[in-house]
Amino acid sequence: MEPGALLLAPGAGGDRHHRTLVRIEAAVAPPLPTARIDFPYRREGRRAPDRAPKLLACVVEEAAALVRRAGVVPGSLVLGGRSMGGRICSMSVAEGLPAAGLVLLSYPLHPPGKPDRLRVEHFPALDVPCLFVSGTKDPFAAPADLEARTAAIAGPVTHVWIDGAGHDVKDRRGVAGETQVVEAVAEWLARLGT
């Protein structure tokens, strides 16, 4: 299905004003209606993320609001975001939130240094196209591990790797790979549904 709107969520330490999210919105809207959201703990001025049920409820509520504002069908919504934000969006879709696809930036496959604590239980329930954009040096997910784990996703999966970049998509010279991330997302969205 062709995307009707895009919902973007930040990572645990960020907010809706994260540079990458702002740049993605600038690259796709218009014509694609886009909303960047904050989770409740950020709106309340707290630093520690809420528990998953509250974060999931926030995504469902924000998705419904964007669908209404944009006047699109729920199944045409693309959801995603950075790190925890993307993970929570993917969990929401796995639990039944209608979507046309997922954009997962710097997906946190596991906490750094703890590859046994995987965050993939919901992957088999994902049956929509998924874009994963990550740095090849991200301590949250080595390329081979992420590619092996995403094989459990029923929908088509696309991986884009930012060479030498870490979780913040900066490469070893400190140069932001942000432009590559934005271009990858815009190109993938343009192909979605065609």
pLDDT in tens, 101-148: 999 999 999 999 999 999 999 999 999 999 999 999 999 999 999 999
Q: For the chain, give the percent of residues with pLDDT over 70.
A: 97
CATH of the domain at 116: 3.40.50.1820
> What's the total number of domains in the chain?
1
Stated pTM of the model: 0.96
Domain range for residue 140? 5-191
What's the mean pLDDT when you consider all of the chain? 95
Residue 42 has a pLDDT of 96
Residue 172 has a pLDDT of 63
Residue 175 has a pLDDT of 62
Query: Distance of CA 90 to CAs 58, 60, 86, 156, 171, Å?
Result: 13, 11, 6, 14, 26
Contact 102, 130 (CB under 8 A): yes
HSE (CB half, 13 Å, CA atoms) of 74? 11
Residue 174 has a pLDDT of 60
* SS3 category, 170: strand
Q: For the chain, give the percent of residues with pLDDT over 90.
A: 90
Which has more confidence, 171 or 22? 22
Q: For residues 175-184, give the mean pLDDT.
A: 86
Q: For residues 1-21, give the mean pLDDT.
A: 95
Residue 105 has a pLDDT of 98
